[in-house]
Amino acid sequence: MDIGSLFGLLGTWALVFWAMMSGGQLDIFIDIPSVIMVIGGTSTILFVCFPVGTVKEMIKIVKRCFFNEDKSVQKLIEDMVSFAEIARRDGILSLEGVTKDIDDPFIVSGIQMAVDGTDPELIEQIMQTELDNVADRHASGKATLDAIGKYGPAFGMIGTLVGLVIMLQNMGDPSKLGPGMAVALITTFYGALMANAFALPLSDRLALRSSEEILYKTIIIKGVMAIQSGDNPRIVEQKLKTYLPPTQAAAMNADQAA
């Protein structure tokens, strides 16, 4: 579980509730028609924007923001160099016995194609296509959260306008103006909260997760191609390190020198 994301989201909602309770009356922020307008309207409009299957994946999309296996890029590079050493020493066919101990199916698929003698261009094309499909799925999930962040405040504003119209119909009774205005504004509050304390932060987190996974799989592709071409393990390592930020590359060099 991503403790940072969970802490950030829960902390944000806790601060909002604290601010709401500071007025002494939490119930003034509760209005069921406003909740239905914002959450219901945003949910139904998603079916216009996306296929039904994409909308149904919302729970999985949100879970991906909090539950994600941490993968060490440094460990990946070390493994790919190790595979290159085995292939260089014992021949690429020797890697067939190594694949059964590898947990990542993407690595297994690439190495197996190399062992089978598949054309290098075809190997890269197949693996790149799979990577592109992963990126497309991630982009679809992010687009769903972005849509919630866009339409949530819009439906909040629509609810406010509806409330204002109802309030103006009761101008003859000044005592109803204050409560009417409060109810009208509450839908804008709900919409802003849905966007800025839920959808948009998770969208940004999902984008980060996507970039991390794309980098991870890109390193795998380049590593498999280097192994297939018979590159020296040191060259393989240098090639793959170029995908690391300078600080991570320096840390990896320091660990190896220690």
- Pick the closest to residue 61 from 139, 5, 4, 2 (CA basis): 139
Q: Based on the structure, what is the number of domains in the chain?
A: 1
Give the tokens for residue 2.
């991503």
In a domain, 1, yes or no: no
- Domain extent for 85: 34-65+72-95+104-251
Give the torsion through C-alpha atoms of 70, 74, 78, 83, to 10 deg: 60
Give the tokens for residue 230.
């018979």
Give the torsion through C-alpha atoms of 102, 105, 107, 110, to 10 deg: 130
In a domain, 219, yes or no: yes
Each residue of 93-139: pLDDT tens digit? 888 888 888 889 999 999 999 999 999 999 999 999 999 999 999 99
pTM listed for this prediction = 0.85
- Pick the closest to residue 230 from 79, 74, 89 (CA basis): 89
In a domain, 19, yes or no: no
In a domain, 49, yes or no: yes
Each residue of 243-258: pLDDT tens digit? 888 877 777 777 666 5
Q: Is 113:126 a contact under the CB 8 Å cutoff?
A: yes
Each residue of 165-204: pLDDT tens digit? 878 877 777 766 766 777 778 999 999 999 999 999 999 9
Residues 164 and 184: their CA atoms lie apart, in Å, by 6
Give the tokens for residue 130.
């799979």
In a domain, 25, yes or no: no
